[in-house]
Structure formats: structure tokens, C-alpha cells
Amino acid sequence: MDPNRDSDDILRAKRSHDHSYMFDVAFSQRATQRDVYQRTSQGLVSKVIRGYNATVFAYGPTGAGKTYTMLGKTGEPGIMALTLSDLFAKMEQNQATSRYRVTMAYLEIYNEMVRNLLGPSVGILDLREDAHGATVVSGLTEVEVHDSDEVMDLLTRGNLRRTCEPTAVNKTSSRSHAVLKVTVEQQSRVLNMCQKIRTGVLFMIDLAGSERAANTRNRGLRMKEGAHINRSLLALANCINTLSSGGQYVNYRDSKLTRLLKDALSGNSFTVMIAHISPASSCYEESKNTLKYADRVKHLKTKVSSNVVEVDQHVSEYQACMESMRTRILELEGHAGVAGGRGRQSVY
């Protein structure tokens, strides 16, 4: 209900204020963290393991529950923790046939500066583009991880460094966008002449919330942060507008956030957007805008393909491969001989 709507205004009373949107799923306030996880990012786990890129991002006004959804709180882990524990469980199941290497990086974009949340010191990092046009963060600390406990430990440490301050709207307001990057490299354990390495990258992003200075009553540094947050979210909204209207020139370079999200919005990525809205009429404008952008994002198309590189083997590995094949052939011949009731001899 629009709180500013005047029911006595005869001219406007008949105008329809209803809007319908079509989303993949909508959650009520009774939804648990696991309900949200299962219907949003659970499906991405097996894709990342198979070498596809995926992105999950939480969007919405300040105080609407983005950090709660992505990070959660003690006893109620959010999407980041639930996804990673599923990821490790799936890799464990495939241990016999595949070898994995998992690395993670955690960064925040604070006042248009990219900061390392896992490095020895919170340095400011640069964004640049690689030969394929993908955005890379130079100097970002990538830590190899072996189980979900290790990941949780790193996440907790990273979160302590993240910029979070109380405002009039949210006691624990995120003043930065936090980006968790998990890279999974998968290689078959079966020896082959040409080994394939699949690399899937999963981004999980807790955006800072859009805010109106009047609501947050922010002054000084909080106000400056708010301006940066709004500017990068506006850049994101502009990219979404251009992409959804079929525009050719998308201005990703307007902010660090959009440069990082470029692939998630139009490139090689399976992308899930979780829009957060408040049912309070005091949040009418914010909820309306959030729904509008979520609806536009729903129409965006990405082009996904698995990231596979073939690695030529070293001569010694060819020899090992031939050796393993020869043993296998002899074994099979032995079985065939026993089954057929006659002996055979082969020379290799």
C-alpha cells in the first residue's frame, strides 16, 4: 500500500496501483535459512564442480536482511556457509574419481576501494582486465582450503575486518559490498593422455544496502559511505537497465562493483539474485524499486560454458599412463581367460 496515496483524491483513486511480477520463488517471513538456500543457490554447487561459473548476490535496501541471508548469525548459518559445506560434501563423494583444489578469497569494496579481507594487512587492491576481458583483482590473497571448517574460520576472520557500523536504520549496517570468491579446480584421477582441468568460480556477494540520507540520519563519514554505496548501486541499476532494454553500450566502468559483476550480469555465469524487501509501508519506495530491478534482472541473459583446459602430459606421465593401461589389459585378459576356460598370451 502506498502510504502517500490519498484515498480522497478522486482523480487518482481509480488509477491502478497494483503491479505483478513473476519471480522463480518468493519467501515469506517464516522461511528458514535452509529453505532459502535450497531454493536459490543449492543448484549451483554441482555446476561449479563441473567447471561453470556462478554468482549469488543479495540486493535490497538497508536493514532488509541481506547480510542475514548471506552470512547468517550464530546457529543460523547463511547461504555462504551452507553452500560451502555442500560443496565439500559433494567433492568428498567424488573423491575416488576426481581430484580437487579449492581456493578462496574475500574482499570488500568500501568507498570505491577494493580491500583484501584475508591478506596479512588490509591493503587496497587494483582491478584490471585479463586477456579475455575478465576482471581480475591484482594482489588478492587466495587461500587454499580443505574443508568447510577452514572456510568458516577464514570467513569469520574476514568479517571481523569488514566495515560495519550502526546507523539509525540498522544496528549492524554493512558499509561495504563483501565478495567471497571460491575457485574449484577439478581433475580426473583416471590417467589419460590428455588431462582436462575444469575450473569453476563461485562468487557470493553481500551488497551494502541502498539508503536514503533522511532515513539513516547519517552525518560525516557515514554519509560519505552512504553516497558511495548509493553511487555503486546506481551504476549497477544503470547496467541492469541498459542490459534489459537491449542497449549495446553497457557502462560497467562506472564503479568497481559493476566491473566485478560484469560476468555475473551478462557473461559466463549462472546467476542468482536474491531481492530483499520489507513489508513495512515506511519502506514502500525502496520495496518498489527493489522489485523493479529484480524484475529487470529476471530478463537478463548470460552465456554459460564450462571452463575446461586440456593439459598435455609430460613424457614420464605418458609412460605411467601406458603402464597403467598395460596392467589393466593384462587383468582383463586374465578374467577373459578364466571366463572362457582357456589361457592366452600377449606380448606388449
Ligand X SMILES: Nc1ncnc2c1ncn2[C@@H]1O[C@H](COP(=O)(O)OP(=O)(O)OP(=O)(O)O)[C@@H](O)[C@H]1O
Question: Applying CB under 6 A, which residues contact ligand X?
Answer: 60, 62-68, 73, 170, 172-174, 208-209, 276
67 near Mg ion, rule: CB under 5 A: yes
Q: With respect to Mg ion, which residue has the nearer C-beta, 91 or 257? A: 257
Query: What residues contact 33, with CB distance under 8 A and at least 6 apart?
Result: 69, 72, 76, 77, 78, 79, 82
Q: With respect to Mg ion, which residue has the nearer C-beta, 66 or 256? A: 66
Query: What residues contact 80, with CB distance under 8 A and at least 6 apart?
Result: 70, 71, 72, 155, 180, 204
Residue 271, binding choice from ligand X, Mg ion, none, Cβ under 5 to 8 Å by partner class: none
CA distances from 169 to 4, 212, 255, 279 (A): 21, 10, 25, 15
Q: With respect to ligand X, which residue has the nearer C-beta, 213 or 329? A: 213
CA distances from 221 to 170, 175, 180, 208 (A): 16, 10, 25, 15
Please, what is the minimum distance in Å from the beta carbon of residue 67 to Mg ion? 3
Q: How many positions of this chain bind Mg ion (CB under 5 A)?
A: 3
C-alpha cell, 336: 577373459
Nearest to 85 by CA among 6, 171, 148: 148
Question: Which range, of 14-22, 171-179, 268-276, 288-296, touches Mg ion by CB under 5 A?
Answer: 171-179
Residue 148, binding choice from ligand X, Mg ion, none, Cβ under 5 to 8 Å by partner class: none
Q: With respect to Mg ion, which residue has the nearer C-beta, 66 or 259? A: 66
CA distance 176 to 156: 16
Please, what is the minimum distance in Å from the beta carbon of residue 87 to ligand X? 23
Please, what is the minimum distance in Å from the beta carbon of residue 225 to ligand X? 10
Q: Output the residue with the shortest Cβ distance to ligand X.
A: 209
Task: List, as residue ranges, the binding site for ATP.
Answer: 60-67
What torsion, rounded to 10 degrees, do the Cα atoms 294, 71, 278, 237 define? -30
174 near Mg ion, rule: CB under 5 A: yes
Q: With respect to Mg ion, which residue has the nearer C-beta, 67 or 269? A: 67
Question: Which range, of 152-160, 166-174, 212-220, 235-243, touches Mg ion by CB under 5 A?
Answer: 166-174
What torsion, rounded to 10 degrees, do the Cα atoms 327, 333, 336, 341 define? -120
End-to-end Cα distance, the chain: 81
Tell which positions 97-126 bind Mg ion, by CB under 5 A.
none
Residue 65, binding choice from ligand X, Mg ion, none, Cβ under 5 to 8 Å by partner class: ligand X
Please, what is the minimum distance in Å from the beta carbon of residue 88 to Mg ion? 26
Q: With respect to Mg ion, which residue has the nearer C-beta, 52 or 106? A: 106
Question: DSSP letter at 207?
Answer: P
Task: List, as residue ranges, the binding site.
Answer: 60-67
The residue type at 81: A
Please, what is the minimum distance in Å from the beta carbon of residue 211 to ligand X? 7
Please, what is the minimum distance in Å from the beta carbon of residue 32 to Mg ion? 19
Query: What residues contact 189, with CB distance under 8 A and at least 6 apart?
Result: 96, 97, 98, 99
Binding site for Mg ion (CB under 5 A): 66-67, 174
